[in-house]
Chain A
């Protein structure tokens, strides 16, 4: 920043891009280019069909060499798209890559209007702003940042497991943090997986065991991330490891404590309230890790100070039950973070006309999943709420809370397929039962999915095309007595139907985790209105986020089935592995610096820096920015009362010229001259 640029001597090349017809359709690009040629400092001004093509880039390169350009402006698309392309072109031509400025006349101009005159005038303003800014640009050198080879994976569902195993198998260390006492996530609760109907546990548990035993994985279950500091390559994470009250080093997982515990409570998480579990429990037999956990809220010892049955009967030496255990805060450094926090199921009580909670035999999909699961509360038999009678007819209601402006606008993507799977399972377990699938549209895109739909048609499931209006127990005719009546328009025949059934299964929407907003703030990345995490680009960068070093995988990004979640987990792992293999990455040299001679030592900037990158020299009474830690956010620049902090590439000269440039048509004459 020491060498002063003399704006008078700069020779700027201006390139206006047609972007096929994307820009040229609305903006008169030839006019902009001819107009710009007469502006001060402009050495050459051209328009070209596609500036990003190799020919377009060659144009810049040749002009730099032949006409001695010192600065380059390209008026085209968003810097997100092609800033890097053109910087590299400048570098090839022999210029410092930061001697370049981009004017966005596509996203900010041509795509926003059909008004050709206004669009052309705005394109001139944006181009002029870039020209006046670029003459003040100074050469900068990119900063290398080392990547810590360890990775944090948040969430132990199938997406997290997939990401973790990919990285661990590639030889990198992974910390996996899971909120529940075991990994496995929602997939561990399922019975069969569509469309091939292979047993969910059979394909999931080997992977869970791999995670539990892998030398490269530190598994932290019953734990939550509390604090995240730092940036790409250098995050520091604090994790709260909740007290399990079971010593993991001594416990052998024999399960005698669970057997001997005299108290039972409803298992609302894993068995969704369909059965009970002990107060010291392991969510399911194949849980990883195998150690049980004491539910402090319901434990009689913690509430009343008596019992200790688990401790008395624990056969290990020394005893594994430790009532005095407390939460631990673990702190460790990682280079990258993968979020795979999964989804919640929509609360069907929000739609009262479906009667869940009021009508006993209305079930949610997850309840049904547990019921048909061989290791579930009914050992796989499909029964009504009384837990013994077999239903003779079952209605499956699609789109409960999905595709509905009153709840969630989006399609939850997986419900059609699992509803078909449910229909199949009812046919399989109760061959004489009638099954009704009430759907709005049957959405079965995917390998083997449509074939599965055809299979159900052959199995003689009754398909009713119509969104269920209500489920009621108010009978109108004798045949409806004692039944649940599903009232729906069969839109294919245009008539309202009342279908009497014994059992109704609701297929609720997948929604973002209730605390997804807090999670996105914790990791300093974005989530959308529905609470799903936002990817960097919906098509071309689906697992990265706008925050460098933070990746997302699975249903926390949007409703997703198992194959998609696995693919995303692996994709996120591949991105992280790539960075780890590089070892260092080059970061934008957009950093703040404090003029040591003029700093008054007021310390205002010290506490404001979100990255703790500013230190105060007590001896000289001045502050200084540690360049390696600074992320160039600009907070200190704006806060400094003496105005002696400068953000590289965003200096006052550069910004004020840019503002004046954009206002070229209204500024007073003398400034123009």
Chain B
């Protein structure tokens, strides 16, 4: 019977399909945090998050907002001198957090991510009018009106579809998805 995996092992297991080097290869140079366009909104820099994962500081990692603020621009991944796929590591921690329901209720990120992924699985593409409400209500009334106004304008200009559109050969796409994400239930 193998010993219970440590937190850092669990995260590296979630990265099994990633092309990058293991998180343990991190030399703590700070290229990722220096590059990150949203680092000012994070309570821990990406470099420190990797350090905390390697140190098995599970609670501290799950408590911070770093991975929810990651914009997935992959700039860090491109520049990392240790070839670690940092953006992918952020996804790994996001998944861990969603599966273990460790995120706080008022956080928009998890609901947003789930709605986004579900829309993609069902339609093969994103649909903003469904996605927007998942985060809009966390904003002030003024911002909501602003967003709604911009949405309407975009619809009028034909930049955003009024009804959800689906991609061609959606069945094939779903088969691909089913291979990547084990969803259980339906065949």
Is B34's CB under 8 angstroms from A487's CB?
yes
Is A405's CB under 8 angstroms from B81's CB?
yes
Is B83's CB under 8 angstroms from A405's CB?
yes
Q: Encode A171-188 as 1/0 by CB contact (under 8 A) with B.
A: 000000000000000000
Residue numbers in A under 8 Å from B31 (CB-CB): 466-467, 469, 489
Q: Encode B22-47 as 1/0 by CB contact (under 8 A) with A.
A: 00000111111111100110001101
Residue numbers in B under 8 Å from A405 (CB-CB): 21, 81-83
Query: Considering only CB atoms and an 8 Å cut-off, how many residues of chain A contact the other chain?
Result: 22
A414 to B45, CA, bound (A): 30
Is B30's CB under 8 angstroms from A488's CB?
yes
B79 interfacial by beta-carbon distance below 8 Å = yes
B33 to chain A, nearest CB (A): 4
Is B33's CB under 8 angstroms from A489's CB?
yes
A528 interfacial by beta-carbon distance below 8 Å = no
B164 to chain A, nearest CB (A): 38
Residue of B28, B45, B47, B81 with most partner-chain A CB within 10 A: B81
Is B39's CB under 8 angstroms from A403's CB?
no
On whether A491 and B81 interact (CB within 8 A), knowing A469-B34, A470-B34, the answer reads no
Is B81's CB under 8 angstroms from A489's CB?
no
Instruction: From B28, B35, B81, give the contact of A470 (CB < 8 A).
Output: B35
Is A467's CB under 8 angstroms from B81's CB?
yes
B24 to chain A, nearest CB (A): 14
A405 to B45, CA, bound (A): 22
Is A440's CB under 8 angstroms from B27's CB?
yes
A663 to B39, CA, bound (A): 63
A197 to chain B, nearest CB (A): 29
A21 interfacial by beta-carbon distance below 8 Å = no
A494 interfacial by beta-carbon distance below 8 Å = yes
A432 to chain B, nearest CB (A): 27
Is B79's CB under 8 angstroms from A353's CB?
yes
A3 to B40, CA, bound (A): 85
A469 to B79, CA, bound (A): 8
Is A467's CB under 8 angstroms from B48's CB?
no
Residue of A399, A490, A494 with most partner-chain B CB within 10 A: A494
A467 to B81, CA, bound (A): 9
Residue numbers in B under 8 Å from A353 (CB-CB): 79
Residue numbers in B under 8 Å from A496 (CB-CB): 33-34, 36, 39-40, 45
A496 to B44, CA, bound (A): 11
A496 to B30, CA, bound (A): 9
Is A440's CB under 8 angstroms from B29's CB?
yes
Determine the residue in chain A with the shortest Cβ distance to B27.
A440
A107 interfacial by beta-carbon distance below 8 Å = no
A487 to B34, CA, bound (A): 6
Q: Encode A477-489 as 1/0 by CB contact (under 8 A) with B.
A: 0000000000111
Is A403's CB under 8 angstroms from B28's CB?
no
Is B30's CB under 8 angstroms from A489's CB?
yes
Residue of B34, B45, B47 with most partner-chain A CB within 10 A: B34
Residue numbers in B under 8 Å from A441 (CB-CB): 27
Determine the residue in chain A with the shortest Cβ distance to B25.
A405
On whether A491 and B83 interact (CB within 8 A), knowing A466-B34, A496-B36, the answer reads no
A219 to chain B, nearest CB (A): 42
Instruction: From B28, B35, B36, B44, give the contact of A491 (CB < 8 A).
Output: B28
A523 to B35, CA, bound (A): 45
On whether A466 and B29 interact (CB within 8 A), knowing A489-B47, A494-B45, the answer reads yes
B84 to chain A, nearest CB (A): 9
Residue numbers in B under 8 Å from A489 (CB-CB): 30-34, 39, 45, 47
A234 to chain B, nearest CB (A): 47
Interface residues of A in 451-472 (CB under 8 A from B): 465-470
Residue of A403, A468, A469, A495 with most partner-chain B CB within 10 A: A469
A404 interfacial by beta-carbon distance below 8 Å = yes
Determine the residue in chain A with the shortest Cβ distance to B39.
A496
Determine the residue in chain A with the shortest Cβ distance to B46.
A489
Is A469's CB under 8 angstroms from B35's CB?
yes
B76 to chain A, nearest CB (A): 9
Is A403's CB under 8 angstroms from B27's CB?
yes
Is B79's CB under 8 angstroms from A491's CB?
no
A209 to chain B, nearest CB (A): 43
Residue numbers in B under 8 Å from A303 (CB-CB): none
Residue numbers in A under 8 Å from B29 (CB-CB): 399, 403, 440, 466-467, 491
Residue of A399, A466, A487, A489 with most partner-chain B CB within 10 A: A489
A489 to chain B, nearest CB (A): 3
A337 to B31, CA, bound (A): 44
Residue numbers in A under 8 Å from B27 (CB-CB): 403, 440-441
A406 interfacial by beta-carbon distance below 8 Å = yes
Instruction: From B30, B48, B81, give the contact of A406 (CB < 8 A).
Output: B81
Interface residues of B in 85-142 (CB under 8 A from A): none
Residue numbers in A under 8 Å from B82 (CB-CB): 405
A489 to B28, CA, bound (A): 10
Residue numbers in B under 8 Å from A487 (CB-CB): 34-35
B156 to chain A, nearest CB (A): 34
A373 to chain B, nearest CB (A): 31
A353 to B81, CA, bound (A): 13
- Other than A469-B30, A488-B34, A489-B39, give 18 A-B pairs with Cβ distance below 8 A: A353-B79, A399-B29, A404-B81, A405-B83, A466-B30, A466-B31, A467-B30, A469-B31, A469-B34, A469-B79, A470-B34, A487-B34, A488-B30, A489-B31, A489-B33, A491-B28, A494-B48, A496-B45
Can you report 25 residue pairs joining A to B where beta carbons are below 8 Å apart?
A399-B81, A403-B29, A404-B81, A405-B81, A406-B79, A406-B81, A440-B27, A440-B29, A466-B29, A466-B30, A466-B31, A466-B34, A467-B30, A467-B34, A469-B79, A488-B34, A489-B31, A489-B39, A489-B45, A491-B33, A491-B47, A494-B44, A494-B45, A496-B36, A496-B39
- A-side residues, CB < 8 A to B, are 353, 399, 403-406, 440-441, 465-470, 487-491, 494-496
5 closest residue pairs by CB, A with B: A469-B34, A489-B30, A466-B30, A489-B33, A404-B81
